[in-house]
Amino acid sequence: MKENVREYVEERLQGGVDISKSVELLRRYAYIEQSCVRALAGWFLKIPDWEMKIELGYHLYAHAERLNELGTRLEELRGGRHRDANIEPALARVGEELIQAPDERSFLSGLAWMLRNLADVYREHAEAGDSSANALEIRILYRLLSDVERELESVKKLLLLQSSPSEEENRWTTYLQELLQEAGCIGGLGTRIGRKALRPEKALFEWPAHMIFDDRIQHDDLGSYESKLSLPLRERSIGEFQVYFNEFYAAALLATIIFDSWKLDAPRQYFMDIAHHFWDEVRHAQFGAIRLRELGVEPSKVNMVLFEQSQGMPLLHRLCYLTLGLEVYFMPRKSVRVRYYEQQGDPRSQLFADVDWSDESNHVRYGKHWVDYLLKDDARSIEDVQEEITKYMETYANNLPDGQKVPW
Ligand SMILES: [Fe+2]
Ligand SMILES: [Fe+2]
């Protein structure tokens, strides 16, 4: 599909992109990047293969970082605010639909298709800009372009691991293509085709009731923190890195926060922080997998109770529960763990424990900042919200199947 940024510049005889068009283009790019963040948050829960979850977690953060960079520039440009008030319905539909893929392979295929379109428009815009007047956008767009190209290569590799292309997948990408043609491509300057695209029958994203894993992973008890302290080094590390692998629960919880924040009225930094937090938890789960494999053990179990008991709560309560409840509660264990591995002469475990400790201190800081922000002009204090969380927890605990206990 042709974006026509170059034609726009040629017709206007200015030799570059004027401010109002720059603003419009950047808003549209930012909207599409954020749609990818949302779609990836949904599919993170749904895709069963944990290695792929980790890979998609990295991509989610990449989209969030590009969104943040575009947003930063929009804040500097005259008239660059109020993105959502300025997105035309046809483009809004493209962003909203991206998540609705009928299956995993179609989703990856749709994501790859979107990345190709993003790369095309970033390249064309960067090349059409005036090297002095549009210098800032040009630098940003080339950075974004190389990042998008790297992500595309990775998604193409993921697609190769999947079964062969299906009719379903072709129908899905054709549908996305038609939607984008209605919007005049990502930049809105392409030729518009006015036909109303119809979503293929089987395409509808249903939010999974649980975090989905394939049958390599069983839902099991991970044992208490205290029970591991008296074990010999190898057994203790295996136990502790199983707990790291289980940080998929925190990543899943943040994926729901990211998903539900889609239309939240919050500063740019909020979206960056929740994506950063999410990605850190994905990496902590990856720390677990890396170290377990180094110790000759395959990751094989998770316990998602902490995630599941959060799911009946509003976004604010979920954020507060994770950052100012769980993460504060687990914090005293972090420095102990780093010191223990150092004393035992286990530098690999020490490295992961050290980075985790640092990341977790950030998470509590994010939590404090954004819970305060969300409680601005609210009659409740953080303590009131925590009390409400306890009530939600009681309802959850009372509805647990026999024999399951809440580790709160
Ligand atoms: Fe973590
Ligand atoms: Fe954390």
Can you give the pLDDT at residue 127?
A: 98
CA quadruple 250, 256, 262, 263: dihedral positive or negative? negative
CA of 82 to the centre of ligand 2 (A): 31
200 found inside a domain? no
Same domain, 76 and 223: no
201 found inside a domain? no
The one-letter code for the residue type at 211 is: M
CA of 374 to the centre of ligand 1 (A): 23
Same domain, 296 and 153: no
Same domain, 240 and 363: yes
78 found inside a domain? yes
Residue 188 CB burial class (10 angstroms; 0-12, 13-18, ≥19): buried
Which residue, of 130, 164, 182, is where some domain finishes?
182
* Ligand nearest, relative to CA of residue 322: 2
206 found inside a domain? no
CB 39 within 8 A of CB 99: yes
Can you give the pLDDT at residue 23?
A: 97
Same domain, 117 and 246: no
CB 112 within 8 A of CB 148: no
CA of 102 to the centre of ligand 2 (A): 32
* Ligand nearest, relative to CA of residue 329: 2
Same domain, 176 and 255: no
DSSP symbol at 100? G
The one-letter code for the residue type at 57 is: G
CA of 345 to the centre of ligand 2 (A): 26
Same domain, 152 and 289: no
Which residue, of 136, 163, 182, is where some domain finishes?
182
Can you give the pLDDT at residue 404?
A: 56
* Ligand nearest, relative to CA of residue 248: 1
Same domain, 251 and 380: yes
* CA-based nearest residue to 181, from 113, 94, 97: 94
CA of 46 to the centre of ligand 1 (A): 21
Same domain, 171 and 223: no
CA of 325 to the centre of ligand 1 (A): 13
Same domain, 241 and 379: yes
CB 68 within 8 A of CB 271: yes
* Ligand nearest, relative to CA of residue 323: 2
* CA-based nearest residue to 312, from 374, 249, 397, 204: 397
CA of 386 to the centre of ligand 1 (A): 21
CA of 281 to the centre of ligand 2 (A): 6
CA of 192 to the centre of ligand 1 (A): 46
CA of 291 to the centre of ligand 1 (A): 15
207 found inside a domain? no
User: Which helix (DSSP H) or strand (DSSP E) does residue 111 occupy?
Assistant: helix 104-128
Q: What residues in the chain have per-residue pLDDT under 70?
A: 400-408
Which residue, of 154, 182, 210, is where some domain finishes?
182
CA of 385 to the centre of ligand 2 (A): 20
Residue 291 phi/psi, 5-degree rounding, is -70, -40
Total structural domains within the chain: 2
CA of 257 to the centre of ligand 1 (A): 16
Domain that holds residue 280: 218-398
CA of 146 to the centre of ligand 2 (A): 29
| Cα 393 from Cα 390, distance rounded (Å) | 5
Per residue in 267-299, pLDDT (tens digit) is 999 999 999 999 999 999 999 999 999 999 999
Q: What is the CATH number of the domain that holds 12?
A: 1.20.1260.10
Can you give the pLDDT at residue 408?
A: 41
CA of 250 to the centre of ligand 1 (A): 7
Same domain, 151 and 222: no
Can you give the pLDDT at residue 405?
A: 53
CA of 302 to the centre of ligand 1 (A): 14
Same domain, 107 and 171: yes
141 found inside a domain? yes
Same domain, 301 and 379: yes
53 found inside a domain? yes
198 found inside a domain? no
Q: Which residue has the tokens 């292309």?
A: 165
| Cα 282 from Cα 47, distance rounded (Å) | 14
